[in-house]
Each structure stands twice: as C-alpha cells, then as structure tokens.
Structure 1
Amino acid sequence: MSPSVLSVDTVSRWYGNVVAVNDVTMTIGPGITGLLGPNGAGKSTLIGMLAGFLAPSAGSVTLDGATVWKNPEVYRTIGLVPEREAAYDFLTGWQFVLANAELHGLPDPGAAAKRALAAVEMEFAQGRKVGEYSKGMRQRVKMASALVHDPSVLLLDEPFNGMDPRQRLHLMELLRQMGADGRTVLFSSHILEEVEQLAQHIEVMVAGRHAASGDFREIRRLMTDRPHQYVIRSSDDRGLASALIADGSTAGVQLDDGVLSVEAVSFLRFTELLPRVARDAGIRLFEVSPTDESLESVFSYLVKS
C-alpha cells in the first residue's frame, strides 16, 4: 500500500455570512495526526471537505495531487467515520457493513465484512439491529464500515465519543497499528489527553482558523507557557501582592475587594515562584485557583500567539 498525502491549501468554507473554516493550510501524511480544538472550531467541516462531502468555498483539497471534490475515485482510498450517526437502524451490524463492502465492489464482500467486524470486536453483536446498539457500539460498527475496503486514508470525527474505557483502548491500539503500517490517519478530538496518547502530530483549530501545528510536546508547551490567571487567598493578601510585584516575575497583580488576582507569565515559572515568595515573606497560602482553564481560553491564546 503506497503512502497517501492529503493537502489543504488556503481553504475556507462559509455558510451565508458564517465562516466555518477560514484560510486553512495543512498537510496530512502517513501516521496518526490529531485534529484538536474546542467544539465549534470547524473540525467537522474540515473533515467533510477532506472526505469530499463538502466543497471548499475557496482554496483546494487534494489527495496525492488529485482534487477530492467531485472525484469518486478517492473513495477507493478514503475511509470515513463521521461524528453524526450514519448507520441505518433497521439493518443488523452485519448487513450494514456488508452493504458497504458491496457498494465498494469488493471481490468477496462477505469476507471483507467479516474481517472489518472482527477488527473492531463486533462479531458478538453483528446479528443485532444497529438501532439496538449503544453509542459505543454504533461508533465501532461505523468504524468497521470505514475499514471494510482496507483504505490507506482514514478520517475519524470524534471517534471515541460514547466508548467505554476498554473499547477506547482497543480502538487506540487499532489506530496505532494502522499508523505504523504507513496509513494516513486523521482523527478529531476536543480532549488534549486523548490526542497526546495517540497522535504523533497535532493540528489545532480554533474558531475556524488553523492555530498551531507540531508534535504534542510543542503544543503542550505553548499551552503551558501562556499567561495564566489565578485567584489567591492567603494570610496576608496585601503583603503577598507587594512581594509578587517586587519580584517582577508576574504580568499583573490586582487586589480588589479582598480578592487577589494574579496573571502569571508562565505556569512552570509561577509554580516555583509563588511558594518561594510566600515563604520568604512569612505568608501562608490557603487557596490558589486558576480562573481561565477552559479549553476555549487555552485555544484562544494559541490563535493570538
């Protein structure tokens, strides 16, 4: 199986006045790439364009140099697991995967369906209707239908939603094996730890824009080293504020209505600074609480950096 490369070149997609993806450029090659970003960041829209189900409003998406949009040949190469439900509830798991094998015109669709269901450990439920499946089981049967034609490119939109820990670990191991085999695997997630466990490379999307790119250590460092906001309670808030200002290692200190707010330049630096400053000033710390740890605030910083 020859390696495949997806290329996104200055791609935008808008719906009326709403811009879902804004001037994104990236290359996705063999191995596992994580598409990371908060809900509503444009991840599903981008995957829809990569899979050829959505036309870019501007720019181009290509697979090994060939335009993806209106090119049915790419489906010999691409397997897609969409986030939205995409299975017929009245079919059994076996019938659903078999139908996909037949649609691909495979020489032995029955054998292909059997291999795909075994790969996701769904043989035990293949005779049950999809409408009776749990969320995790539906995710797995969608995965089987995406694998049935042995694609070299796999696109997965939030594939771990609804899976229990054992199912999650099994799917992660399956994707690791596919990446090691030289396939091009892209999966989206809004959970950083999920991406860290699996992806060799991370692309970050925020509010439709491409915010960062690199291995997970680089992305984690960008997130960790950003300014952090804290609320602190101590035995002497005024004295602690004066000590922190004197040190000069914080970006801002504010004491308002008995609440001490601090903007730290770096998480790692601040965790070393605060205990030392408090100890030297003889001040006891009662509470140190971050106030800006939402994914949206972390990712928004990446856009500005």
Structure 2
Amino acid sequence: MTTVDLTSVSRWYGNVVAVNDVSMTLAPGVTGLLGPNGAGKTTVLHMMAGFLAPSKGTVTVDGAPAWRNPSLYRHLGLVSEREAVHTFLTAWEFVLASAKLHRLPDPASAARRALELVEMTDAQDRRIGTYSKGMRQRTRVAAALVHDPQVLLLDEPFNGLDPRQRMHMMTLLHDLGAAGRTILFSSHILEEVEQVSGTVQVIVAGRLAASGDYRSIRRLMTNRPHVFAVQSSDDRRLAVALMGQASVTGVEIDPGTGLTVRAGDYGSFTRALPRIALGEGIRLRRLIPSDESLESVFEYLLEA
C-alpha cells in the first residue's frame, strides 16, 4: 500500500503564496482534487510528482521524499495538464519510448498493454499530430501507465474526451483504485469527481478547505441547515408534526413534490422522522438528502 503524504506544505513564488500550510494523506483508491482556478491544485500535484520543491514542509511518497528523488518515478505516473508530446511520433512509438526509458524487461508488451487499457490500439500507428485532443490525452495516460505505477497523478485527465471516452476513463480509474493503486486526479467538472470518487481534497486560495468523503463533510457543516425531500401518505399532517421538533428549522409543502424540510442536526432529524411518522400513523414514501451533492458541498466551501 503506497501513500502520499503532505505535512505542513507551503509553496511561494516571491511574495505570491500558491499553497499555504497544506497537510493531507492519499491512501490507495481514487481521490478527487477540487478547487477553483488558481487555487493551487497544479502546484500541489507538481510537488507530489517531485517537479517542485516545497518552500516549507515535506512531501513524501511511501515515506521517501518526492523532491530530488529520481527513483520515485519507478512507481509513480503523471499526466500533467500541459501537453508535452512529440507530434511526429505515433502513439506506439511514444508509449514504447516511455517503456524503454523505464527500462522495463519487455517494453513492447508493456506498451501494448497500456495502449489497450486506454483503447488506442486501432490508431496507434498514426502520428500524434493527426489526433484529436481526446486521443492525445489517452495516449499520454497510456505513457503514464506503461510501467504499472502504484501512484498515478492526473491533472484534468478528462479534457477533450467525448462522452463515451469519458465514461471509459472513469471506469479505468475506478478499477485501478479498486486494485490498490493510489490515484489523485483534478477536475473542474464536479460530476466527474462525484462519479469516480466520493473522497475529495478541496483547495481554496491555497489552503486545504476540506478533506474526506464529501457526504461526511456536508454533515459536519453544522452552520448550514440540511435539506431533505420527503414524501409521505399525509404530507400536511407530517409537516405539522415535524414543526414541533427542535431539529427542524423549516418545512415547505409542494402538492406535486411533497415536503422540503430543513434541519439543523442531520442525525437528530433522521432518527426522529421514523418515530414521528409511526406515531402519527403516516407512511414514509421517500426521504432524500437534497443538498448532499458534491456541487452543494463545493459551493458551501467556497462561500465559507
């Protein structure tokens, strides 16, 4: 099990602080790195990959320092946001060159396997300069996977992919994480992160704003009422009963959709609701937390 650890890490450029006192641990599985543009996501990724030295703090991969440690790349793969591919090469030549640079015992077999993983075998003999952005992106992912790394860092890996390719890439990352790889990917599309991983690291203005399962993060936001969509056999009578509960801060009734309930305490409300419904002889038909999406959590964190 390979972990990546940042301990009190800061990075500045002159008077500009890009990352400020960030500590996080990446464990095996898939983690999404979120934050608005300019938040410091790419700087964090580059420090993990050993491309940048932290101005303060430590960055380690499996206990070894990331900075000035070439042996790191034996078990780490990186797909940066900025493309750096030789367009006169074919995908086969590019990925094979990556396999040879890693001094793999059978570079041809490794290159073939990596291209199959990203579904690029049909176009592997065309020059990269003729590829669409999505095809170039998949070729770069293949080059990063060719040595079967334990740690994979990807900066906006879904850029340029069409819907089918995006779904395939999501499945690939999910499968690699399930197999024990430690994967961190950044994305500005929240739906992508939500579908691939529930675990997030949120960077806002260079600081770590939240870390962990985003649903758990939402439930810890006690300063914001939790919103639930509720449907029952008698919405009006249930609304009256709920208003008497200390955990409930508001109830709205919509004849078409049922109740919208705002509760200050997630646990107290979810424990009280079944008891109230049973006492009133009301059957519950639906209970959905309607503001536990990653988008809602992200918006709340940005407003904080």
Q: TM-score range by the shorter chain?
A: 0.7 to 0.9
Does 209-218 or 142-151 show the bigger shift? 209-218
1:170, 1:194 → 2: CA distance? 12
Shift of 1:298: 3.9
Shift of 1:218: 2.4
- Opposite residue 172 of structure 2, the aligned amino acid is L
2:162, 2:221 → 1: CA distance? 28
User: What is the root-mean-square deviation of aligned Cα atoms in Å?
Assistant: 2.6
Shift of 1:200: 3.8
Equivalent residue for 1:135? 133
SS in 1 for 2:99: helix
1:90, 1:25 → 2: CA distance? 41
2:13, 2:82 → 1: CA distance? 19
| TM, length-normalised to structure 1 | 0.74
Q: Provide closer, same or farther for how the CA distance between residues 5 and 295 of structure 1 changes in structure 2, counting only shifts above 3 A.
A: closer
Equivalent residue for 1:300? 302
2:113, 2:298 → 1: CA distance? 40
Equivalent residue for 1:96? 94
Equivalent residue for 1:18? 16
SS in 1 for 2:111: helix
1:151, 1:93 → 2: CA distance? 19
Kept after mapping to 2: 8 A contact 1:36/1:202:
yes
SS in 1 for 2:20: strand
- Opposite residue 162 of structure 1, the aligned amino acid is G
Shift of 1:222: 6.4
Q: Provide closer, same or farther for how the CA distance between residues 196 and 41 of structure 1 changes in structure 2, counting only shifts above 3 A.
A: same
Q: Which runs of 5+ in 1 are unaligned?
A: 228-246, 248-267, 277-292
Kept after mapping to 1: 8 A contact 2:79/2:144:
yes
Deviation digits for residues 123-152 of structure 1 (CA, Å, limit 9, x no counterpart): 111111112111111110010000000001
Q: Provide closer, same or farther for how the CA distance between residues 202 and 71 of structure 1 changes in structure 2, counting only shifts above 3 A.
A: same
1:221, 1:206 → 2: CA distance? 19
Q: Which runs of 5+ in 2 are unaligned?
A: 226-242, 256-294
Shift of 1:215: 0.6
1:132, 1:269 → 2: CA distance? 59
SS in 2 for 1:88: coil
Kept after mapping to 1: 8 A contact 2:2/2:151:
yes
Kept after mapping to 2: 8 A contact 1:30/1:179:
yes
Kept after mapping to 2: 8 A contact 1:38/1:295:
no
Kept after mapping to 2: 8 A contact 1:4/1:63:
yes
- Opposite residue 187 of structure 1, the aligned amino acid is F
- Opposite residue 191 of structure 1, the aligned amino acid is I
2:94, 2:81 → 1: CA distance? 17
1:298, 1:50 → 2: CA distance? 27
SS in 2 for 1:210: strand
- Opposite residue 86 of structure 1, the aligned amino acid is A
Matches within 5 A, 1:82-161: 82-161=80-159
Kept after mapping to 1: 8 A contact 2:96/2:111:
yes
Kept after mapping to 2: 8 A contact 1:11/1:58:
yes
Q: Across the two proteins, how many residue pairs are aligned to each other?
A: 246
Matches within 5 A, 1:1-305: 3-221=1-219, 226=224, 272-273=251-252, 298-301=300-303, 304=304
1:60, 1:36 → 2: CA distance? 21
| TM, length-normalised to structure 2 | 0.75
Q: Provide closer, same or farther for how the CA distance between residues 296 and 179 of structure 1 changes in structure 2, counting only shifts above 3 A.
A: closer
Deviation digits for residues 179-233 of structure 1 (CA, Å, limit 9, x no counterpart): 1111101111122221111114111111111000121212455689748xxxxxx
Kept after mapping to 2: 8 A contact 1:30/1:184:
yes
Q: Provide closer, same or farther for how the CA distance between residues 68 and 297 of structure 1 changes in structure 2, counting only shifts above 3 A.
A: same
SS in 2 for 1:107: coil
